[in-house]
């Protein structure tokens, strides 16, 4: 099988479009939920194969068919809980692919493939690893970007923007739910609920329409996917809010967060993780290493101006 993607050329840049058939091999994906410049403007996608009952999956199915060009070990940020190295896999798409001539750049996989190996879409590339690029609350995933022939494939940033040819259903969420599961640094709520697990991707709907993507406010910015056509074509900046709480301003599909604080039952937490998913365990993910929640706890989430939160809490730093 070959990768069914195509590249589109605009006046200023080229964008790579990923169809639903490619994304559907994975349980979740995100263009913006990352602190690293490689994701700026949605120029990379994180693909999450899923989770195991007793832990994170290590499966690493390839998103493309083609030939392995190179594998190498690369340095990762120093973290006390993770190794300081990661792995880079460069793939050349099959000649019959509409993206033939581009280079596919994949991170976070300890490769079981070598240069010259030919692979089909879905073949195992190796084993997912958790290097220093990962915050402790992040699930295992493949980081994927596309480079043109004149671009350096080894630089962290600089991949082509990625467009989605896949429907993502916006789900209304009132900011409440009960804790379904917990980890040392996070809690997942049972809302919003995927209406048809395993089918289309879903995400949390912004008040203005579209699906929110990113970590607010613990990462610098986020994305607004699946915008109404009228909003997507509007050249002016758009205010983005959730349940009446302003999050920031979108320029195109990229959101710059305001100076905001996420609260859970009135108390500040690190943030709210927003992504697209098609599995039945989808729900709002609270990033909260400073707090602990128990399964079944009722939680109300708000996103408030940091100045307002400071007025209500003492001391405020």
- pTM of the entire predicted model: 0.91
Could you say which DSSP state residue 23 is in?
H
Selected residue with higher pLDDT from 4 and 113: 113
From the centroid of its chain, how far is CA 233?
Answer: 24
Please give the average per-residue pLDDT across 208-234, as a whole number.
85
Task: Count other C-beta atoms under 10 Å from residue 69's C-beta.
Answer: 16
Q: Is the pLDDT of residue 278 over 90?
A: yes
Q: Work out the average pLDDT over 276-298.
A: 96
CA atoms within 13 A on the CB side of 144: 28
Given a cut of 70, is residue 314 above it in pLDDT? no
* Beta-bridge partner residues of 205: 211
Q: What is the distance between the alpha carbons of residues 259 and 251, in angstroms, rounded to a whole number?
A: 17
pLDDT band at 54, cuts 50/70/90? low
pLDDT at 313 exceeding the cut of 80: no
Furthest C-alpha separation in the chain: 62
Average pLDDT for 121-148: 95
Q: Which residue has the higher pLDDT, 130 or 55?
A: 130
Domain ranges of the chain: 16-164, 167-313
Distance of alpha carbon 123 from alpha carbon 62, whole angstroms: 6
Question: Lowest mean pLDDT: which of 50-59, 104-113, 132-141?
Answer: 50-59
- For residue 217, count other CB atoms closer than 10 A to its CB: 21
- Per mean pLDDT, which range of 93-107, 210-224, 226-240 is the poorest? 226-240
Q: Which CATH class is domain 16-164?
A: mainly beta
At a CB cut-off of 8 Å and minimum separation 6, what does 311 contact?
Answer: none
In contact, 176 and 301? CB cutoff 8 Å? yes
Q: What is the mean pLDDT of residues 124-129?
A: 97
């Amino acid at each position: 099988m070959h990768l069914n993607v195509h590249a589109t050329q605009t006046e200023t840049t080229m964008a790579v479009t990923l169809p639903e058939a490619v994304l559907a091999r994975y349980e979740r994906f995100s263009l913006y939920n990352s602190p690293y410049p490689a994701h700026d403007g949605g120029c990379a996608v994180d693909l999450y194969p899923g989770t195991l009952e007793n832990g994170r999956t290590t499966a690493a199915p390839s998103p493309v068919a083609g030939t392995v060009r190179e594998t190498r070990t690369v340095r990762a940020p120093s973290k006390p809980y993770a190794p300081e190295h990661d792995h880079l896999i460069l793939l050349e798409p099959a000649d019959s692919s509409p993206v033939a001539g581009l280079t596919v750049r994949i991170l976070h996989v300890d490769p079981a493939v070598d240069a010259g190996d030919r692979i089909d879409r879905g073949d195992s590339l190796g084993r997912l690893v958790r290097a220093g690029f990962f915050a402790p609350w992040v699930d295992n995933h493949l980081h994927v970007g596309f480079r043109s022939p004149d671009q350096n494939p080894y630089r962290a940033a600089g991949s082509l923007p990625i467009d989605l040819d896949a429907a993502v259903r916006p789900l209304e969420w009132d900011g409440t739910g009960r804790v379904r599961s917990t980890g040392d640094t996070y809690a997942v709520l049972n809302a919003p609920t995927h209406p048809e697990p395993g089918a289309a991707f879903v995400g949390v709907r912004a008040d203005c329409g579209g699906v929110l993507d990113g970590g607010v406010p613990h990462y610098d910015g986020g994305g607004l996917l699946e915008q109404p056509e009228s909003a997507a074509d509007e050249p002016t900046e758009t205010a983005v809010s959730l349940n009446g709480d302003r999050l920031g301003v979108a320029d195109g599909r990229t959101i710059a967060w305001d100076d905001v604080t996420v609260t859970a039952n009135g108390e500040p937490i690190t943030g709210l993780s927003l992504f697209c998913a098609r599995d039945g365990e989808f729900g709002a993910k609270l990033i909260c290493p400073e707090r602990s929640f128990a399964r079944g706890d009722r939680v109300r989430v708000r996103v408030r101006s940091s100045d307002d939160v400071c007025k209500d809490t003492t001391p405020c730093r």
